[in-house]
A and B are shown apart, each in its own frame.
Chain A
Amino acid sequence: MAGTVRIVIDDRSIEVPAGTLVVDAAKRAGIDIPVFCYHPKLEPAGMCRMCLVEVGTIQIDPQTRQPVRDEEGRPVVRWMPRLQTACTTRVAEGMVVRTNTLQVQEAQRAILEFLLTSHPLDCPICDKGGECPLQNLTMRYGPAESRFDYWDKMRQEKRVPLGDLIILDRERCILCGRCIRFQEEIADDPVLGFSDRGRGMEIITFSDPPFASYFSGNTTDICPVGALTTTDFRFRARPWEMTPIPSICPHCPVGCNITLDVRPSARKGGWDILRVMPRQHEEVNEIWICDKGRFVHHFATAEDRLRQPMIRRNGELVPVSWEEALDRVAEALQQAGAEAAGIAGDRLPNEDLYLFRRLFEEALGSPWVTMDPPVFGGEWVARYGVGVGTDFGRMGPGSLVVVMAGDLEEEAPVWFLRVRGAVRRGARLIVAGGKPQKAERYADPILRYRFGTEALVLVGVLRVLLEENRVAPEALPRLEGLETLKQGVADYPLEDISRQTGVPVEQLKAFARAIAEAHEVVFLFGREGVVDGEAFAGMAANVLALTGHVGRPNNGLLPLWPHANTQGALDFIGVRPLPEEVPVLYVVGADPAGDGRAMPRAGFLIVQDLFLTETARMADVVLPAQSWAERDGTFTSGERRVQRFYKAIPAVGEARGDWEIFVALALRLGQRWLYLSPEAVMDEIARTVPRYAGMDYGALAWTRPQWPPVGSSRDLYFGGTARPNTAGLGRVWASEAEAPEARWPLFWKAPEVPSEEAVLVVPVRRLYHEGTLIARTPHLRSWIVPWAARMHPETARRLHLEAGQMAMIQVNSQAVRLPVQVDPAVPPQVLMLPASLAPRAGAVQALPVEFRVEVGDGALPH
C-alpha cells in the first residue's frame, strides 16, 4: 500500500493512500457517500447498494503516456458501464468518481425506497429514532412518499431475544450484516449469521447460550437502524432527552472512554444513568466497549447504596449526621496519630488517593497507608512501561505482542479486541500461560508452563538472549547490572528450566528470538498464578530492556492491573505492609474482609464505601462515598494514561466525594486545606507530582479529530451511536526509560519456584465473576460466574474432595469457603479460585497448602 494516488471526486482532485476505498477517500475530501452496510471498522460487504457511484478512468494515450483529451482539452474519461459500490472499490491512479449526478441520485433514491418497503414506520417508538442513519439518509436522499402499499409490508417478529442482553426487531432489520461482521472480524465470537433467504432472511444466533460474547452491546451501536437494542436501554428514553456526560469506564485497566447518558428520572428521585455508550478514542478503545462496561453501571444508582453516615451504638450501626460522624472519625484519627493506618482501594480517583496519602502523612504523621489489592511490578512499569504514543491500532507487520500470566479477554476485553486487530494486520502474538485462553487462537507460539514458574520461564528466555548475543546494540551502553544478570542466569541450564516449567527448550528459544527480532514489543503481564511477582516483573523488564524494547512508542510493559485506577493507586499510595495491629484503621473503597484478605486488627475501624460491605459491617463508623458518576475525577489506565471523567448525576443520598471527606477531616485535624473541587486537587498534583506534571483538567480535556470520523450521530457516513470525543484524550506520563539520558537498570533475584509436589492456589479473573458491582446489574445475572474452587479430578482425589462439597481453603492464614468444582481443563496440582477472593497470587508461600474440608450442602455462604 505504499505511496499515494491522485483521483478526482466530483471534479476535485485529491491525493489519497493507494488502496483506500472510494467511500473513505470521498470522506477525506469532505464528500458524503451514504452507506448502510459499510462501516469503516469492518470489511466491506457491498450488500446494501446505497453507495453506488459513477466510476471511470482517465484514458491514457499509450504512446505519450498523457491523458487523451477531447476537443475542448478535457481529459477523456472511460466510464464503467454500471454504477459501482464505493465501499468495495479501491482507488487507483487516474480514477474519476462522481457522487452527485442524476444517475447516482436516482440510484440512492431507489435503494432507499426499496429499503423502506420492508421497514416499519415505528420511528416514533423506536429507540434509534433521532440518531438513526436510515432516518437521516431518508431525509437527505430518500423519496418523500412511498409507492409501496402499506398493507403489503412484511410483518415480522418485533421481539426476538438474541440472548439476555440484545433484542432483535426483525421488521426493522435491513439485513446489512454489520452485527455479523463485527462478531466475526472484531470480536471473533462468530455467533451471529444469516438464515433463510430473500425477504425471509434473518439474523440468528447459533451459540448456546445465545449470543455468547463479551462485546454484544457494540452491535447495537453499529446497527444502522433500531433492529438491535439492549434489554437494559430498550424503550427507556428517546435519544434527544438524554445528556451524554463524558466518562471513563470504572472497571478495568483499559480506561475505555464512555459517556453516561443521563436524564431526569422520577423513579430514581433525580437523575438516572440510562445507558453507557462508547466515546471514540482511537488510541484507547476506538469505538468499542465490553458488555461489562456497558451494563455494569447500575451499582451507581442502586437502592442499597449507603446514603447516610453511620456510627456503631450498642453494637448497631445507626444513621447520624455528617458532623457527628466526621467529628468522631477526626477524634479517633487524632488519638491514633502516627499509629493510624489506612487502606485505599484502587477504584478511587487520583485526586482522592493523593489527598488520602497527604491526610496520613501531613495531618497524622503516619506512614501506614497501602493500596488494596496489593500488586507487584509497579516500579518496573514506571521504568519500562509502554512508551508515550503507544497504540495497538498502529501495530502490524513487525510488531509483537506478548501476553503472559493473564487472560487478555477476561481481564482487559477491549485490549483483546485491539490486539486481535493488530494480529489481523500482521502483528505477531505470543501467549504464555498456565491455562488456555481465547487469545491463543492467534498465538505463535503458545507457551504452556506450570503455574508458579513464570519468572523461571523468563530466566530461560534471558538465557537464550544472552547465549545467542541478542542484546540490542543500542541498549548496551544504557544497561546497568548486566554482569550480575549474566552470572545469575548462568546457574540455570535451559534443560533444567524446561523440565521445571514444562516448556520445551525450542519454545523458549522461539519466544526469545521473536522478541529479539521484532521491531516493537508490547509485553502484557498479569498475575494469574504468579508466585514470585517481584522476580516475574523484573525478568519481564530484563527481557525488554536487553532487547531494546523500552523507552519508545509501541514498546514496553503493559500491566493487566485488576481495576481502573490501580496505576493511580501505585502512583499515589503504593504497596507497603501494615502492622498486624493498629489503634485506628481507615478503609476507603476496599473490602478486605469480603475479599478474604488479611487486614490489621484495629481498635477502631472506619469504612468509607458505596455499599455496606463485609468490612463495613464490622466498622465503628461508616461513611457513604460517591461513585465515580457523581463527581469529577481522573483515573490512570494501565498504559498510564490519565483521563478525566465528569460528574453525571447528583449525589445519591448524602454521599460525599472521598476527596471532600478527606478535606473535611483534614480541616478538623488542623490542616488548612482549601480544595473546593477535584479540579483544584488536580491542579496541585499537576504542579507538584513530577509524573503528573502539567496534567491539569484543561490539559486532560484536549482533543484532536479522530479518524475514521464515526463518533457522531450527525455523520451520515457512519451515523452510529458511538459518541465523538469532545471532552479529552487524556495524557500519558512518560516512563523513566524515555528520558534521553536514562540508564536502563536490570534486575536479578533467584526466582522462587514452588515445589513440584505443592498444590498451587491460582487466582483467576473472569469478566463476570460474582462481585459487589456486577450483582447490581440484573441483566447479567445468567452470565455471572459463581464463586468456586475449580480443580482437576486428580487433584480433587488427592485432596479427598468431591464436586459440590464445600471446602474451607486456607491460604496465607486466610480461609476461604467455596464449593468444589471438578474440571479436567484445570491443570493438575492447581486450585483455581476467584481472584477477588484470593488476589495474592504471589503470596502463596506456605506450600503445600493446608486444607480443612467441610462436607456441606453445596450452598454458597451468601
Chain B
Amino acid sequence: MGRYILLRHREIADLHRLEVYVRHGGYEAWRKALTTMTPDQVIEEVKASGLRGRGGAGFPTGMKWSFVPKDVFPKYVVVNADESEPGTFKDREIMEGNPHQLIEGALLAAYAIQAERVYIYVRGEYRSVARRLEAAIAEAYAAGFIGRNVLGTGYSVEMAVHLGAGAYICGEETALLESLEGKIGHPRVRPPFPATYGLYGKPTVVNNVETLANVPPIILHGAAWYRTMGTEKSPGPKIFCLSGRVRRPGNYEAELGKITFRDLIFGEEYGQGLLEEGRAVKAILPAGASAPMLPASALDTPLDYESVQAAGSMLGSASIIVLDDTVDIVWAAYKMVRFFQHESCGKCTPCREGTYWLRRVYERIVAGRGRPKDPELLESIARQMAGKTLCPLGDFATSPVLSSLKHFRREYEDYLRRAVETPAGVPA
C-alpha cells in the first residue's frame, strides 16, 4: 500500500482510467461486498471503521446509513459534490484524479441501503470535473460495475451526474435535494431528515465525495485496518486543503490528529511556511469561511474533530486558510460576511436580514465611517442570528464576526479611531 489512500492518483499515473484503477485493486471492494457481504454487513463494517462525514459535520457515516428504513422504496444515494466552501478543493482533486474510487464508494453506499439510483450533484462551476466524472461512469457502466444485474448478482443500480447552478446554499444537503428535484435551492425544515424523507420524499443518504472515497478501502481492508489510522474518535485519513498566505498551498492527505496546524503550515512535506519571509501567522480559518477563526496561539492544535473543537472552532471540511500579519482582519471578516450575504438563500428571516445588516455595518467601518458602538452592534446582530436560522448557513455567517471580534477586537478599534465621526442617522 502506498502513501496515499485517497489521493492515490498522485502515485499512480492515469488512475482516472478504469483499466488502471482496476489494475490497482479497483472495484475489488465492490465485488467483495456484492458477492460476499449482505447490505447490513456493509453498514456494520463502515460503522465499525468509525468513518465520519468529511463534508463538515463529521457525523458517523455508518450510523447515517443505518437510519434509512429498510422497507420503503425507492431509495437514493446522493453524492454531495457541491464543494463550495471557500478554500475547499479536495473533492475536485478526487473527482479529477481518482473518480472511480468515489464511484465505487457511492456504489457501496447504494448497496448498503439498497438504493436503486445514485445522483452525483456537482457544483455548477465544475463543468470539466463533471465531464471527467461522466466519462468514468460511462466506463464503469461498460465494464458492468453499474447498471442492471451488476456482476451477475441481481442487484441493479443507476448513476447520473447533475450540475448545480452555482449557489453555495446547495451544498446544504436539503437545499441540494430541492435543487436536484428542480426547485429553488431552499433548505428544508429538519426533521424529517433525508434518511427518511429525502429526494422526492424517499429515503436518501447524502454523503460527501471524500467520505465515499474512504469506503472502498474500508470494505477491502476492513474496519480494524482503518482504525490503525487517525485517532480513536476521528479515525482514518483526511485531506487538508491548505491555502492563504502559505508558500505551498494545496491538498495534503494525512491521518487525522497526527499533525497540527503548525505541521501543516510549516512542514517540509506540507505548506513549507508562509509566503513571505519574516511574517507571522495572525489567524487560521480551519474550515473556510464558516468556522470561527483561531489566533496564532492555536497553531499547535492537532488536526482532528475533537481537538479543533476544543480550541474553539471546527475542523469542518478542513479547508485551512492561513492569514498572516499583513492581513487586515476587519477587511477579511467583511469579505466573509459579504460572501454569506451574497449566498444567503433568503428563506429564513434572521439569515436574510442579518447578513445584509452585518454587511452594511462592515461597509461603513471599512469605508472609514464606523461608529464607536459598531463592534457591539455587530456582536449583537450576530448573536441575534445565531441559533435561530433554518439551516447552518446563518450560523456560519456569524463565525467570522464573532471570532474576529473575540480575538482581534483591537483592529476594529483601530478602524474606529481613524473613522470620520458621522452623526448617527446620516447615510454612511
Contact = CB atoms under 8 A, between A and B. Distances in A.
Contacts of A47: 347-349, 390
B389 A152 contact: no
B172 to A, nearest CB: 13
B189 A115 contact: no
B356 A194 contact: no
A46 B344 contact: no
Interface in B169-204: 169, 184-186, 189
Nearest to A109: B384
Interface in A374-392: none
Interface in B399-428: 424-428
B394 to A, nearest CB: 9
A83 B341 contact: no
B349 A45 contact: no
Interface string B369-401: 000000001001000110111100000000000
B349 A198 contact: no
Given A46-B189, A148-B357, A198-B355, A111 B349 contact: yes
Contacts of A114: 349-350, 352-354, 357, 384
Contacts of A118: 353, 356
Contacts of B424: 149
A200 B184 CA distance: 14
Interface string A173-184: 011000000000
Contacts of B342: 198
Interface size class for chain B?
35 or more
Contacts of B184: 193-195, 197
A590 B219 CA distance: 83
B341 to A, nearest CB: 7
Contacts of A117: 353, 356-357
Nearest to A113: B384
Contacts of A147: 377, 380
B353 A197 contact: no
A280 interface: no
A111 B388 contact: yes
Interface in B183-229: 184-186, 189
A343 interface: no
A113 B356 CA distance: 13
Contact of A110 (B344, B347, B350): B350
B346 A110 contact: no
A196 B184 CA distance: 9
A45 B356 contact: no
A452 to B, nearest CB: 43
A198 B390 contact: no
B326 to A, nearest CB: 31
Contacts of A152: 357, 360, 427
B42 interface: no
A16 to B, nearest CB: 19
B167 interface: yes
Q: Specify which of B184, B347, B354, B377 lies most central, judged by the most chain A CB atoms within 10 Å of its CB.
A: B347
A826 to B, nearest CB: 34
B388 A110 contact: yes
Contacts of B425: 149-150
A149 B424 CA distance: 8
Given A48-B348, A85-B189, A115 B353 contact: yes
A170 to B, nearest CB: 13
B188 to A, nearest CB: 9
Q: Specify which of B352, B385, B428 lies most central, judged by the most chain A CB atoms within 10 Å of its CB.
A: B352
Contacts of B341: 198-199
A681 interface: no
A201 B189 CA distance: 19
Interface in A73-90: 82-83, 85, 88
A76 to B, nearest CB: 23
Q: Specify which of A52, A106, A113, A115 lies most central, judged by the most chain B CB atoms within 10 Å of its CB.
A: A113
A240 interface: no
Nearest to A89: B191
A107 interface: yes
Nearest to A196: B346
B346 A197 contact: yes
A47 B344 CA distance: 13
Interface string A136-156: 000000000001111110100
B122 interface: no
B388 A52 contact: yes
Q: Specify which of B353, B360, B428 lies most central, judged by the most chain A CB atoms within 10 Å of its CB.
A: B353
Interface string A36-65: 000000001111111010000000000000
Given A198-B342, A198-B352, A46 B390 contact: yes
B390 A49 contact: yes
A82 B349 CA distance: 16
A44 B189 CA distance: 9
A114 B424 CA distance: 19
B345 interface: yes
Nearest to B356: A199
Contacts of A50: 349
Contacts of A113: 384
A85 B390 CA distance: 9
Given A83-B388, A117-B357, A194-B346, A88 B189 contact: yes
A589 to B, nearest CB: 50
Contacts of B167: 197
Nearest to B427: A151
B344 A198 contact: yes
A46 B353 CA distance: 16
A47 B355 CA distance: 16
A134 to B, nearest CB: 12
B140 to A, nearest CB: 36
A44 B346 CA distance: 17
Given A47-B349, A148-B357, A197 B384 contact: no
B9 to A, nearest CB: 36
Interface string B153-178: 00000000000000101000000000
B349 A49 contact: yes
A197 B345 CA distance: 5
A1 B326 CA distance: 62
Contacts of A174: 349
A188 B109 CA distance: 37
Contacts of B186: 194
Contacts of A115: 349, 353
Contacts of A197: 167, 169, 184-185, 343-346
A45 B189 contact: yes
A342 to B, nearest CB: 59
A405 to B, nearest CB: 36
A201 B389 contact: no
B177 to A, nearest CB: 16
A640 B173 CA distance: 52
B350 A198 contact: no
Q: Specify which of A49, A82, A147 lies most central, judged by the most chain B CB atoms within 10 Å of its CB.
A: A49
A147 B356 CA distance: 14
A110 B357 contact: no
A110 B349 CA distance: 10
A107 B387 CA distance: 10
B181 to A, nearest CB: 14
Interface in A551-592: none
25 contacts: A48-B348, A49-B389, A52-B388, A82-B387, A82-B388, A85-B189, A106-B384, A110-B385, A110-B388, A111-B388, A114-B349, A147-B380, A149-B360, A149-B424, A150-B425, A152-B427, A154-B356, A175-B346, A194-B346, A197-B184, A197-B345, A197-B346, A198-B344, A199-B356, A201-B345
Interface of B: 167, 169, 184-186, 189, 341-350, 352-357, 360, 377, 380, 384-385, 387-390, 424-428
Given A82-B388, A200-B346, 12 more contacts: A49-B389, A107-B388, A111-B350, A114-B353, A114-B384, A149-B424, A151-B427, A194-B346, A195-B184, A197-B184, A198-B344, A199-B352
Among all A-B residue pairs, the 7 with the closest Cβ atoms: A201-B346, A114-B353, A110-B384, A46-B189, A151-B427, A198-B344, A198-B346
